Amino acid sequence: MATKIGIDISLRNFPAGCSARRTNKSSNVQRVTIVKCSVNLNSNGTAAALVERPWKPFDARLVLEDGSVWKAKSFGASGTKVGEVVFNTSLTGYQEIITDPSYAGQFVLMTCPQIGNTGINLDDEESKQCHPGGMIIRSLSISTSNWRAIGNISDHLAANDMMGIYDVDTRAITRRLRQDGSLRGVLSTENSKTSEELVEMAHTFSINGVDSISGVSCTAPYEWVDKTGSEWEFNNKGSDDKSFDVVAYDFGIKHNILRRLASYGCKITVVPSTWPASETLKMKPDGVLFSNGPGDPSAVPYAVETVKEMLGKVPVFGICMGHQLLGQALGGKTFKMKFGHHGGNHPVRNLQNGRVEISAQNHNYAVDPASLPEGIEVTHVNLNDGSCAGLAFPALSVMSLQYHPEASPGPHDSDLVFREFIHLMEQGKTNA
Ligand SMILES: NC(=O)CC[C@H](N)C(=O)O
């Protein structure tokens, strides 16, 4: 229905759903006649859509160790937290990312320009809580729209004591991190703290040389039975009829690793990071999994010792932190990368079959292949920078990946590696 009213408005701010005809041409405020209007009119005749939004003022800061201060708006928890800033290039999967224990001690900056539109659901948790100290995003979605959603990201972060900031130039911060490497930083909503104090706080923080896995590992063994849903069973139809007993070391284990192992027919006992190798061997498992986990792999020599004691006695599979521990147990060394790999689109060449897999990755440290003794095979290479992405030592039934074959939401190119672990365990049973 055409409603004719005269109203002074700026054409640049003309509301969606309306069209108008210009009736005079003065400066930048125009006299127009609205010929179609589908927005609500306020009682005084002004269009409701024109009422200025109550934009939140900047109320948070990210201060980096290089002294730069980034003004932002806060969501989630408030307060002051220190951590290492890393950027993640994934376009989807923010709930999996914030519940991944490997992010403990870090702030994750999402390069995807808008976050939050699918809210939070009950299925996508990688653990029972949020682990990064904070999340840094460009734009916080103003609405949540997903059939699975039970809440919004802001409330979820607040309930999990995780800070969030938005309306900050994430591209500029990412370029800084690409140039200078991962930087330590402080997120704060507290005006009473000066930026100088926050820079100082950033300088006192360290993730290198610190055992970060003991804070996220379980404290007692437990059984895991849940599988992934039927839509995941693209590689492992029929593997259910065989059963393998697996002990999974929890260095900060992601639930989807456990779900994928269960789907491939494994009965899993999850054990703490400090669980003695002798106890594991007494359990007579068919295989042992060393999980992902946060922080510096060279700072947890006790875990490397545990891995070492198991070599040659049972087939083993390491994922991410587990891969780095295996690399050290085999005699190699790890090093810190400039800004690491965090994203869902890393190309990896599987050197065993020549196939390129697109993978999800999340690590700041890597195994130096030059440090490995002769006979250890590098099985996978990251095609972005040539770094070592997988190892094998068939003589000791060892296999490992630096990245995430279980990745949820994906990509799923590397899921078949779970079948390779099953084969390794089958061979182990045959040779026993
Ligand atoms: N996802 C992981 O297991 C991370 C491994 C290790 N903490 C790193 O940053 O390199």
pLDDT of residue 19: 42
Amino acid at 352: Q
pLDDT of residue 230: 87
73 φ/ψ angles, rounded to the nearest 5 degrees: -110, 145
Catalytic residue numbers read 320, 404, 406
Binning pLDDT at 50, 70 and 90, where does residue 420 land? Answer: very high
Q: Is residue 102 lining ligand 1, measured as CB closer than 6 Å?
A: yes
Q: Which residue, 377, 371, 381, 379, is CA-closest to 393?
A: 377
pLDDT of residue 175: 98
Q: What is the mean pLDDT of residues 313-333?
A: 98
Instruction: List the end-to-end C-alpha distance of the chain, in Å, as a whole number.
Output: 82
Please give the DSSP secondary-structure letter assigned to residue 5.
Answer: -
Q: Is residue 105 lining ligand 1, measured as CB closer than 6 Å?
A: no
> To the nearest whole percent, how much of the chain has pLDDT over 90?
83
Binning pLDDT at 50, 70 and 90, where does residue 29 land? Answer: very low
pLDDT of residue 234: 82
Q: Is residue 363 lining ligand 1, measured as CB closer than 6 Å?
A: yes
Mutate to test the pocket of ligand 1, among 97, 296, 346, 362 (most ligand atoms within 8 A of CB): 362
Strand (E) or helix (H) holding 256: helix 255-263
Q: Is residue 362 lining ligand 1, measured as CB closer than 6 Å?
A: yes
Binning pLDDT at 50, 70 and 90, where does residue 42 land? Answer: very low
CA of 51 to the centre of ligand 1 (A): 48
The string of pLDDT tens digits covering residues 344-355 is 999 999 999 999
CA of 250 to the centre of ligand 1 (A): 13
| pLDDT mean across residues, the chain | 90
| SS3 state of residue 73 | strand
Report the nearest-CA residue for atom 4 of ligand 1. Answer: 363
Mutate to test the pocket of ligand 1, among 103, 255, 321 (most ligand atoms within 8 A of CB): 321
Q: Is residue 294 lining ligand 1, measured as CB closer than 6 Å?
A: yes
The string of pLDDT tens digits covering residues 191-208 is 999 999 999 999 999 999
Amino acid at 226: D
> Taking the CB of residue 17, how many other CB atoms lie within 10 A of it?
12
Q: Could you list the beta-strand ranges (E) of 118-174.
A: 134-136, 139-140, 163-166
Question: Quick one: which atom of ligand 1 is closest to the CA of 293?
Answer: 3
The string of pLDDT tens digits covering residues 369-384 is 999 999 999 999 999 9
Question: Quick one: which atom of ligand 1 is closest to the CA of 294?
Answer: 7
Please give the distance of CA 425 from its chain centroid, rounded to a whole number: 29
CA of 431 to the centre of ligand 1 (A): 33
Please give the DSSP secondary-structure letter assigned to residue 344.
Answer: E
Crossing angle for the helix pair 321-329 and 301-310, nearest 10 degrees? 70
Report the nearest-CA residue for atom 5 of ligand 1. Answer: 321
CA of 395 to the centre of ligand 1 (A): 26
> What are 236's two structure tokens?
């492992």
| SS3 state of residue 366 | strand
Q: What is the mean pLDDT of residues 23-52?
A: 45
Amino acid at 223: E
pLDDT of residue 242: 74
Q: Is the pLDDT of residue 160 over 60?
A: yes
Q: Is residue 339 lining ligand 1, measured as CB closer than 6 Å?
A: no
pLDDT of residue 111: 98
Please give the DSSP secondary-structure letter assigned to residue 14.
Answer: P
pLDDT of residue 414: 96
Q: Is residue 325 lining ligand 1, measured as CB closer than 6 Å?
A: no
Q: Tell me how far apart the alpha carbons of residues 148 and 171 are, in angstroms, rounded to a whole number.
A: 30
Q: Tell me how far apart the alpha carbons of residues 134 and 132 are, in angstroms, rounded to a whole number.
A: 5
Q: What is the mean pLDDT of residues 304-325?
A: 98
pLDDT of residue 25: 43
The string of pLDDT tens digits covering residues 230-270 is 888 888 765 556 799 999 999 999 999 999 999 999 999 99
Q: Tell me the domains of the chain and their CATH numbers.
A: 6-42 (no CATH), 60-204 (3.50.30.20), 222-431 (3.40.50.880)
ipTM of the complex: 0.98
Q: Is residue 293 lining ligand 1, measured as CB closer than 6 Å?
A: yes
Binning pLDDT at 50, 70 and 90, where does residue 55 land? Answer: confident
